[in-house]
Each structure stands twice: as C-alpha cells, then as structure tokens.
Structure 1
Amino acid sequence: MVKVLLTGAAGFLGSKLLEILLERGYDVVAVFHVRELGVEHPRLVKIRGDLAEVELPPADLAIHAAAMTDVDKCEVEREACWRSNVIATRRVARRAPTIYISTDYVFPGDRGMYREEDVPAPVNYYGLTKLLGEEAVLASGGWVVRTSGVYGVGGGKRSFPEAVVERLSRGEEVAAAADQRYSPTYSGLLAQAVAELLEAEERPPLLHVAGPPLTRHQFAMAVAEAFGLPKELVRPIPADQLRWTAKRPRDSSLDTTAARRILKTPFHDLGLSLAMFKKEWEARGHAHRVG
C-alpha cells in the first residue's frame, strides 16, 4: 500500500485531502501543528509538531499543504515565515517525492491569467518564500500545484466567503476590492484535483489548479447570490483602502488551461464550488438569515 505524508492535515485543503486519501485506501501520515486533528483511522498515523523540527517518517509520496499563509503576518514576522515556508518545505522535499501546494502570489500581478511558463516575480515576502519552496521541490524531482485564494469551512481561520456570509447574515455591509483580481478556489474541489493528480498518468512539474478569475467584489456578489443574501450590502472599494501591510498583486489570476485538459475534476466551476461550500457551511451547523 502506498504511504502518503500529508502536511497541513488540519487546514482547509489538508482536512479534505485526508478524507479522500483514506477513502481511496492510502496509508497516511498526517502532520499538523496548531489545530487538533480530530480523526481516527487504522491507516492513519498522526504527528503533531513543527515541520521545521519534527521527525518525518519515510513515505512513498508527500503532499505538502502546510504553510504560513497570512500575507501581512509573513511580511512582519519574516523569520517565522522563512521557517514555515522555506525550511520546512526543504525538509519535506528531501524526505519523499513531493506535490507542493503553491500560490498565485509568486507572480507580480501586472497582467493576470498567468500560465505555468510565465516568469515569477513576487511583490511580497510570502510570495518570495513560496517561490523558494517551489524551487526546492522542483530541484528534488517533485511537482508544484499553484492555486489561489483557497476557501472552505473550519480550516482554522475564517475564509473570505465565510466572512461575507456572516456579515451579510447580520445585515452588515461588506466592503470588497473591485480592482484586485485573483482565482478563488474551493478547497473541496482542489483536494479532489490533487488526489486525481496523484494517480494521473500525466503529471507535469508545474500546474495551475484554481477557480475562475474574479475581483473580490465579484466573488462576494457571487457568494451573496448563492446564499440568497442581500447583494446591495456588498460595496465595491479600491484595494488601497483596505490598509494591508504587505503589497498585493493587482491581478494574480491563473490560466488553468493545462489542468482542465489533464484533470476531470471541475475545480473551475464557480456554481458547483459555491453550492458545495454552502452545503459544507450548513452541515457544520451554521445558519444564515437575511436582515
């Protein structure tokens, strides 16, 4: 039986990957750190600890989904960011052939719809450390999956659409950037795509797996519509009014043509993504009301 080392196993993506891998019969060594991993299974070994220090067992393959992803925090706490996104990644890549979950923020954001062959040029420290992680994985013969704005429910931090639903349900206004575009990606479909790639005959070294290109305002409007919440409370604003610490790419959207040719998973389908997100939201016992 194939043994998979899965990092970030308690996050938006990792928790869903863990479920899929166990369903498909893999032996899984799940590494987690801050959040508790409340899963038990006879083919699951759990390891809690800092990836930069914890002893990693041998495995046939690794899926490295762990990272420090708070962009502003990465800009300020650079030592912690380097430790999480560079040192830990190098350790995983040396331990097993690795599928590495990377980011659209490796690109400068000057034009958007970036292809796999486009040259990265990150504009913030988070993007720089993720790019260095990519280089470590590729140098070790692994694979890089770039994605964007991963969202879900209960991943340890509140995702953007969760915040949108919560605020609109209370009748509160949501301000969302109308001049910053990315490719928000539902974690459940991303997990399915990565699991599919695990078994695919064709596995290119670099692949973009992400949702359709949207501004944050367009995405917030789509979330409001999917949940039947008042779209008139979603207010478009310039991104520079959000007072971020770290610079963000203006348009980091990803071209996913290659992945849509290789993979059957409909990760690019916004309607399906939001329907699945809503179902997950409601299954977790959340309720929403208008007004």
Structure 2
Amino acid sequence: MILITGVSSLPGYKTAVKLASASLEVLGIYNQHPVSGVNAIKWDLLNDAVGLIRQYKPNVVIHMAAMGDVDGCEINTEQCYRLNVEVTRNVAKGAYAVGARLIYLSTDYVFDGSRGMYRESDAPRPINYYGLTKLLGEEAVLAMSGTVVRVAWIYGLGPGKPNFGKTVVEKLSRGEEVRAIVDQWGSPTLNTLIAEVMAKLLGREFEGILHAAGPRLSRFEFAKAIAEYFSFPTSLIKPIYMRDISYKAPRPRDSSLDSSLAVKMLGVPINDIKYALEILKREWETQAHATGLG
C-alpha cells in the first residue's frame, strides 16, 4: 500500500490518481477538504501520525501534507512549526517503525535566492519561516534514510489552494489582464509532472535529495509562455516588480532549481515548459468540455 498525506493538495491528488491508475493500492489522507475519485480518509496528523502509519502499515509513505501559506507561516509560527516540523518528524518515525519507504515533498524556499539554479548539493539557507520549517522537515526525513523531492511554484488543475498558472489561464480566457512579477525567478512545476516523478521514483532505489522542478522563469516569463501556448494575447500580461507586492514573509529573489539529475535518472522532462503546457492545455480543454464551457 502507498499512503499519501495531503491528498487534497494540488500535487497530492494528482499523485494519488496517477498511482491508482497504475493499479497500485493507494490510501489518501486529508484533514479538512474531502476529495472524490480516490480512496481517501479523514485523519488529523497533528493528533496521531504515528498511529495512522502503524494501523495501515503501508509499504511507502509519500508525505505531502504541509502548511504552505508562506505569509501565514510567518505570522502563525507555532502552527507552522507543528504542521511542517512536528508532523513530519512523526510521519518519519511511523514510516521507520513499520519499515516503509518515505518520500517527502519539499520546496525551493529552503534556499535564500541569491543566485538560483540550485543543485542538490548546495547548502540551504532559508530566509522565511516556511522555508526553515520545510528544511527541518527534510532533516527528519533524511535521518530516517528517506527521500526528499524539492519542487517549486506548483501549478495546475485540481483541488488545493489557488495557484498562479491556473489563475493566469482563467484570467486570460476571460480577456482580463494579468499582473506578473518580472524580477523574481523560480521553477514553475506542473502538478501532473510531479505525479509522474513520484510514479517513476517508486521504481528506483534512491535515498537523499532530488530536485524535480520546472525551468528557470520569472512569473512574467511564465505568464507570457502560457499566453503564447494557449493563443491568448500576450499584451494582457503586465509587468510588476517585487517592490509592488506587500509580503509578510521575505521571498527569495531567484530560487530556481537545477533538475538535471531527476530528468536523467527518471526520464521525466519536468523542466520542459512546452511539454508541461501541452499537458496543462489538454487538461484545461478536457475540463472545459466536461463542464460544458468548451
């Protein structure tokens, strides 16, 4: 059995669907937001993460549950620490106790963003509380010989909180302008490709850290790429700067990730923006047709 925490998140849901479609036994865990189409149960990981894993005795635990609101983490540090550090430590203990393989979804925000295109061997230096807690989570997983998969700027269709890529498509489809930052760089990562990475990773014996993210793009460049691929007017994309946004938590200037190791090892072109947008466009058109909008 493969147990996936955070199954109601953008990457969690896609991963559950992907693995279940390969006839694997999957159990998803959610807390507040039920999901349909996958085998899932409600469970409060804050109360008993170890008990959950001991009860179901999975072969693999993919831990995706987290407090991902970067500004919220900066404000509510206690809640952020409990969800991102204490829960992860307990999930790691539970996985170790039953002999399950552990895969942990982490973030580019473990880096300070001073230069970008970070490799797995580069030293982390988070500049916000969210990044710090995810780094502490990584340490707990690595201490139990687990696998850390770092992604960035997750986007795509499905449940979970709003994401930039989906918002861009929705706004452009209505002919609305999109304001996008030109002086911050990251690695926009499609949730469907994260699921592909997870599926391929299950077939490989790998311990340690792996970067599995999209190409280095600013939000402005990313939005323009979406507009061009979907045949929307690029004139609707308007540039803004980091100074124009009032963040509670500091953001890395360039936290892009070098994912060449993952591409070589797993054969998933996760850093190919055209490949990613081809999938996104196909999913968007399928969704529009299913809802009678296309």
Secondary structure of 1:17 counterpart: helix
Q: How does 1:68-217 map to 2 (within 5 A)?
A: 68-96=67-95, 97-201=101-205, 203-217=206-220
- Residue ranges of structure 2 left out of the alignment (5+ in a row): 96-100
CA contact (8 A) 1:173 1:235 kept: yes
CA contact (8 A) 1:165 1:288 kept: no
Q: Which residue of 2 aligns with 1:255?
A: 258
Shift of 1:170: 2.6
Contact 1:7 1:64 in 2 (8 A): yes
CA deviation string 1:52-94 (max 9, x = no partner)? 1144132221001111111111111212211211111111111
**Does the 8 A contact of 1:166 with 1:288 survive in 2?**
no
| Residue number in structure 2 paired with 1:51 | 45
Judged with a 3 Å threshold, the aligned counterparts in structure 2 of structure 1 residues 113 and 287 are, in CA distance, closer, same or farther, namely farther
Q: Contact conserved, 1:169 with 1:288, CA < 8 A, in 2?
A: no
Superposition RMSD on alpha carbons, in Å? Answer: 1.7
Choose which of 12, 31, 54 in structure 2 pairs with 1:14.
Answer: 12
One-letter code aligned to 1:29: L
Q: Which has the higher helix share?
A: 2
Distance 2:269 2:36 in 1: 28
Is there any run of 5+ residues in structure 1 with no aligned partner, and where?
A: none
Amino acid corresponding to residue 279 of structure 2 in structure 1: M
Structure 1: which amino acid aligns with 2:44?
A: D
Give 1:215-234 correspondences, 5 Å limit: 215-234=218-237
- Mark the CA change 1:149 to 1:239 in structure 2 (over 3 Å): closer, same or farther: same
Letter in 1 for 2:77: R
User: Contact 1:168–1:233 at 8 Å: present in 2 too?
Assistant: yes
Q: In structure 2, how many angstroms separate the alpha carbons of the residues matched to 1:61 and 1:169?
A: 40
Deviation at 1:23, TM superposition (A): 2.2
CA drift of 1:239 comes to 1.0
Q: Which residue of 1 aligns with 2:98?
A: none
Per-residue deviation, 1:22 = 1.5
CA distance in 2, matches of 1:27, 1:166: 34
Kept after mapping to 1: 8 A contact 2:13/2:158: no
| Counterpart Cα distance in 2 of 1:181 and 1:275 | 22
| Amino acid of the structure 1 residue aligned with 2:257 | L
Alignment check: 8 A CA contact 1:183 1:213 kept: yes
Hey, what's the Cα distance between the residues in 1 that align with 2:36 and 2:11? 15
Query: Is the Cα contact below 8 Å between 1:52 and 1:88 reproduced in 2?
Result: yes
Q: Say yes or no: does 1:266 pair with 2:283.
A: no
Displacement after TM superposition at 1:39 (Å): 2.4
Corresponding residue for residue 279 of structure 1: 282
Tell whether the 8 Å contact from 1:59 to 1:95 is kept in structure 2 after alignment.
Answer: no
Distance, in Å, in 2 between the alignment partners of 1:239 and 1:171 is 24
Supply the distance in 2 between the matched residues of 1:95 and 1:112 (Cα, whole angstroms).
35
Q: CA deviation at 1:287?
A: 8.3
- Work out the percentage of aligned pairs sharing the same amino acid: 47
Does the aligned pair in 1 maintain the 2:6–2:64 contact within 8 Å?
A: yes
Amino acid at match of 1:88: V
Q: 3-state SS of the aligned residue for 2:122?
A: coil
Report deviation, 1:288.
Answer: 8.2
Whole-angstrom distance in 2 between the partners of 1:180 and 1:186 = 18
CA shift in 2, pair 1:70/1:36, >3 Å: same
Q: Distance in 1 between matches of 2:166 and 2:292?
A: 12
Q: Deviations over 1:29-53 (max 9, x none)?
A: 211112112125xxx4x32122111
Q: Aligned equivalents of 1:242 and 1:49: distance in 2?
A: 36
Instruction: Count how many residue pairs are aligned between Structure 1 and Structure 2.
Output: 282
25-34 or 10-19: bigger deviation: 25-34
> Which sits farther off after the overlay, 246-255 or 191-200?
191-200
When normalised by structure 1's length, the TM-score is 0.92
Aligned partner of 1:31 in structure 2 is: 29
| Structure 1: distance between partners of 2:292 and 2:172 | 12
Alignment partner of 1:5: what SS?
strand
